[in-house]
Structure 1
Amino acid sequence: MRFIGSKTLLLDQIKYVVDEKAPNAKSFCDIFSGTAAVARYFKQWYQVYSNDLLYFSYVLQRATVENDSVPEFARLEEETGIQDPIDYFNGREKKELEELPKERRFFQNTYAPAGGRMYLNDDNALRIDFARCTVEDWKKAELLNEDEYYYLTACIVEGIPFVSNTSGTYGAFHKKWERRSYKRYELFRLAVPHNGKQNQCFNENGTELLKRIQGDVLYIDPPYNARQYLSNYHVLETAARYDYPEVKGVTGQRPVEGQKSDFCMKHRAVPAFEELLENARFQHIILSYSTDGLMSLEEIESAMKKYGKPETFHIYEIPYRRYKSRKVKETERLKELLFYIEKQVPPCT
């Protein structure tokens, strides 16, 4: 999935830092999980905690991190004869989709031309509506358990970016149809890594969550600029919740619902970071951040040394792309940075 600040290309570098600084670690916490790519990757070796304030992120985590295998859908098969619900949804013909009552077609009525917007074409929006409504109906009829429900919902959400008429985020849609928007929407079959451990996922404020959990490695990948994530991924949030929100404006934004991040505000980012560090009961703390972020390197270093052992502080620089803007000269290279510090914490109980 295309996602602002995705760390998919940095997984090996993050693992290098963990191996170097925390070779005996048994648990790993991804406190700002996003697409859950980091949490899934580290699930190979550790008991994983993951968290995000966005519900669609939680759905992805719940499906692939807390789930430890792909669900079997035994009750669904027993009652309906459907052996593979993903194949079932992807194989539906348009005439079958049209049986869905118009008042239940939130995506078609809101995000497609039928609703005056162009995030998706009408057929693909209806496919999403059909799948999402059917999953809700199955859950209500107790044909799905929690693991199965979250897995199917995540597969629905994960398939949307492949046919979206956007540049990657959902702050706006293109006024002309892009090539990908002509593709037929399909649920994306997600792999579920297995580790046999008690992995846990959360959908809450990370600072508050850290008061209740503890472990070995805490990985922090907060927003680093002023772009609020909910406004950029509101379509995916609605696909996950499917709560028929009252949307506003040309772009059909859903209510913010207290999901604004302090890390996206210049005057709040540093205090929010310090509070996060203060609450953290993890021995090894790793922060991902960019050189064009709202917090300066000096502010980050000061905060980490305030709550960790100053002598253990270390910065790893990872040049990853050339960047042009009014703030950065053409000849300069933007860097992704990994910051490490050890913190004195009580033993895990």
Structure 2
Amino acid sequence: ESIIGALMFAMSYCSQSTGHFAQYRDVKDQKNFKDIMIYRVKSIKDLFISKLNLLLHYDRSLNHKFESYSMSFDELLEQADPESVIYADPPYANVHYSRFYHVLETLVKYDYPEVKFKGRYRQDRHQSPFSKKSEATKAFEKMFTLIKEKNSRMVLSYSDGGVIDLDTLLELARKVFGNTYNVTIETMEYLHSRLGRTGGKNIDVNEILIIADKI
């Protein structure tokens, strides 16, 4: 695991992309060329060895015990302990995260998938229902229902620029959780990085927390 983690780190810091692997920078002019060369001249080998040494000598004595899973949200919630606190941070944009990190996914799987388009995307990459306007409402309804069935509490992180507008999401949460829950909302302004997309480097958005607590 340390070896794979170190290699993922090295690849990420040598990529000529804009912070993800959705697409690479083109050499359009001298400035682009200089920006690209900042990353191209880095040594994957040196970065790999440096990070691997840090991981091998990292003091894990104070680490907290945790478990991680790779499964769909509904499968995980069905296995979750009852009367727990669920922190949910689903994607809110209509751009699928799998197109940002598909290179690292292929590295870990070490397979030879069919790839297409400029970003050389895997054709079997995951596409979240939360990022599809036609499926997001049903996905949230399923999430809320499963959490309620577990008699658990929820903290949901979302954005006011999401696939579903805030009023609709809040109304859905209150409808599903019903009168045995108190559903409230907290907001916080922050700058969101556009990761190289047009329209400026950052935009002002509201980070939203929808909290469903047992009465």
**Corresponding position: 1:174 with 2:42:** no
What TM-score, normalized by structure 1, do the two folds share?
0.48
Residue in structure 1 matched with residue 152 of structure 2 by the alignment: 283
Cα deviation 1:310-338 (Å, max 9, x = unaligned): 562221111112799xxx9xxx9421111
The 1:333–1:304 alpha-carbon spacing in structure 2 relative to 1, beyond 3 Å, is same
- The answer to whether 1:320 aligns with 2:197 is no
Q: Is the 8 A contact 2:13 2:39 kept in 1?
A: yes
Q: Distance in 1 between matches of 2:20 and 2:151?
A: 33
Aligned 8 A contact 1:307 1:343 in 2: no
User: Is the strand fraction higher in 1 or 2?
Assistant: 2
1:252–1:333 distance in 2 versus 1, CA, 3 Å: closer
The CA deviation at 1:248 is: 2.4
| Equivalent residues, number | 186
1:212 lines up with 2:83 in the alignment: no
Asked if structure 1 preserves the Cα contact closer than 8 Å seen for 2:158 and 2:207, the reply is: yes
Partner of 1:200: helix, strand, or coil?
coil
- Tell me how far apart the structure 1 counterparts of residues 120 and 204 of structure 2 sit (CA, whole Å): 36
Q: Which of 174, 178, 188 is 1:305 aligned to?
A: 174
Fraction of identical pairs, as percent: 26
- The equivalent of 2:162 in structure 1 is 293
Counterpart AA for 1:219: Y
How many angstroms apart in 2 are the aligned matches of 1:164 and 1:342? Answer: 43
Task: Mark the runs of 5 or more structure 1 residues left unpaired by the alignment.
Answer: 1-149, 345-349
Question: Are the aligned partners of 1:309 and 1:343 in contact in 2 as well (CA < 8 Å)?
Answer: no
In the alignment, which of 130, 146, 170 is matched to residue 263 of structure 1? 130
233-242 or 206-215, larger mean C-alpha shift: 206-215
Give me the whole-angstrom Cα distance separating, in 1, the residues matched to 2:155 and 2:20. 27
Q: Superposed, which structure 2 residues align to 1:1-349 within 5 Å?
A: 150-176=1-27, 177-185=36-44, 186-187=47-48, 188=51, 189-190=54-55, 194-195=63-64, 197=65, 199-215=66-82, 216-257=84-125, 259-280=126-147, 281=150, 283-308=152-177, 312-321=182-191, 333-343=204-214
RMSD: 2.6
How far has the Cα of 1:163 moved from its partner? 1.2
